[in-house]
Amino acid sequence: MILEIKVPSPGESITQVQIASWLVGDGDFVEKNTEIAEIESDKATLAISAPESGVISITNKEGDTVAVGQVIATLNSDSERPLGVETAPKVQTITPIETAAKSLPISPLAKKIITENQVDVAALSDTFQGTRISTKEVVSFLSKKDEKQAVKQDREGVTRIKMSPLRQKLAERLVAVKLNTAMLTTFNEVNMKEILNLKAKYNEAFKSKYGYSLSFVSFFAKAAAIAMSEFPVVNAMIEGDEIVYHEFVDINIAVSSPKGLITPLIRDVHTKSVPELELTIKEMGAKAAKNRIALDDLALGTFTITNGGVFGSMMSTPIINPPQSAILGMHNILQRPMAVNGLVEILPMMYIALSYDHRLIDGRESVGFIVRLIKLLEQPIESGLTTYADFDTFLS
């Protein structure tokens, strides 16, 4: 039986997607439920699996923009798994590259390209550690001549690459913020000494149990949720001529993915402890790195946090994630001389920025919110941001 493989709907209002990569080759025999392709919408990258076992025939190439419901391949389910050659014995030479590739999560077509082009498998593994490697990742290791075949060139030194749906949507949203909001930004600074002390106390235990170090975002997310209980307008948004207040705090955390900037959602931040938030944020980050963020993970929250400090940013103006009314920007921690009780001390300081929609949030609320946030972060135990018991219980 010939089965049609159609583009599934990635979500409401999405009519077109881009074929990000084929994970199998044309004419390959694939097993039922094997991931055969990745499609990219303006929200996320999703995988398509084989409905049955059989031989696949691909009709659209990588990079094509296709409609939801369009047939992009067919599958002959009557085909049987090819049997090995049983005629005269043949000595097969397996190269070191093929041997190394077998131990990595690499698609069949990608393995073929790796072998043909003598790609450095060790370097490939280091670059895309923890992710399934498809043909797109392998292409970045090929020669400039091979790379230029996939793009348009006007003249020597000028290259054109089609924007992905995710990048196009991001561009539209950023321009819309400038046009449709009265965005202002207030800056302040926070002494991170006590947070660093907490990290030093529990970091090794956390890393031993969960495999990674504590970050700062979980502390900021919890502090924002507490501060919003006193300044609820920061957690509100405008819909038409109404102000919508929320009794819950759902925070989008801006993270980088191979496809660009995305904002996975952490729900009910106000009910979670700092270590619980840390685990949830790390899990989302791991999914984003593997392009396995689900649409539900990208739902709109009530507030957004972005951390430019991981890239070394000292100060920036974050852009609101509409229709939210505010976004908090974290930055790099630098040792700076500060005046404390008439004496100069060297302290780990971070500049923070709150961008907000001035149509809804006034200066009193924006500054009051960020001052409360600072107190929570500078006195995490005394202010009730977290407790030693939170960590001890979570790590026991």
Pair type for strands 303-307 and 326-330 = parallel
Strands (E), 223-362: 237-239, 242-244, 251-257, 260-262, 265-266, 303-307, 326-330, 333-340, 343-357
pLDDT of residue 176: 80
Instruction: Classify each residue of 356-391 as buried b or exposed e, where b means 16 or more C-beta atoms within 10 Å of its C-beta.
Output: bbeebbeeebbeebbebbbbbbbebeeeebbeeebb
Would the pLDDT of 387 be above 50?
yes
Nearest by Cα to 234 from 371, 327, 372, 299: 327
Query: Pick the residue with more confidence: 33 or 199?
Result: 199
Told to judge if 362 belongs to the known catalytic residues of this protein, a careful annotator would answer yes
Output DSSP code: residue 226: H
Phi-psi region for residue 59, left (φ > 0), alpha (ψ -120 to 50) or beta?
alpha
Q: Where are the alpha helices (DSSP H) in the chain?
A: 96-102, 108-117, 121-127, 135-139, 144-148, 165-180, 193-210, 217-230, 274-289, 363-378, 388-395
Reported as a pLDDT band with limits 50, 70 and 90, residue 148 is very low
pLDDT for 219 equals 97
Q: Which fold has domain 1-89?
A: OB fold (Dihydrolipoamide Acetyltransferase, E2P) (2.40.50)
Residue pLDDT, tens place only, 48-78 = 889 889 999 999 988 888 888 899 999 998 8
In this prediction, residues 87-104 reach a mean pLDDT of: 44
Q: Which of 26, 146, 268, 358 is catalytic?
A: 358
Residue 364, pLDDT above cutoff 50: yes
> Cβ(40)–Cβ(262) under 8 Å?
no
- pLDDT score at 179: 82
- Res 2 pLDDT > 80: yes
**Residue 268 pLDDT exceeds 50:** yes
* First-to-last C-alpha distance (Å) of the chain: 55
* The predicted structure's pLDDT at residue 95: 45
Cα three-residue angle 132-256-184, rounded to 5 degrees = 165
> pLDDT class for 93, splitting at 50, 70, 90?
very low
pLDDT tens digit string along 249-264? 999 998 877 666 788 8
Maximum distance among all alpha carbons in the chain?
90
Q: Among the listed ranges 36-45, 88-97, 101-110, which one has the minimum average pLDDT value? A: 88-97
The pLDDT value recorded for residue 180 is 83
How large a percentage of the chain has pLDDT more than 90? 43
Is 331 an annotated catalytic residue? no
pLDDT at position 372 over 70: yes
For residue range 284-337, list pLDDT tens digits in order: 888 877 777 777 787 889 999 999 988 889 999 999 988 899 999 999 999 999
What are the extents of the domains in the chain? 1-89, 91-162, 168-395
Give backbone dihedrals phi and psi of 327, rounded to 5 degrees, phi first: -145, 140
Q: Which is the catalytic residue, given 120, 362, 390, 392?
A: 362
Helices 274-289 and 193-210, packing angle to 10 deg: 60
Distance of CA 190 to the CA centre of its chain: 26
CATH architecture designation of domain 168-395: 2-Layer Sandwich (3.30)
Partners of 348 in the β-ladder: 335
Q: What is the pLDDT of residue 63?
A: 80
- Residue 121 pLDDT: 73
Please tell me the least confidently modeled range out of 103-112, 199-208, 238-247, 340-349: 103-112
Q: What mean pLDDT is reported for the chain?
A: 82
Burial classification of residue 269, based on how many CB atoms lie within 10 Å of its CB (0-12 exposed, 13-18 middle, 19 or more buried): buried
Q: Which residues pair with 305 in a beta bridge?
A: 253, 328
Q: Give tens-digit pLDDT for 221-235.
A: 999 999 999 999 999
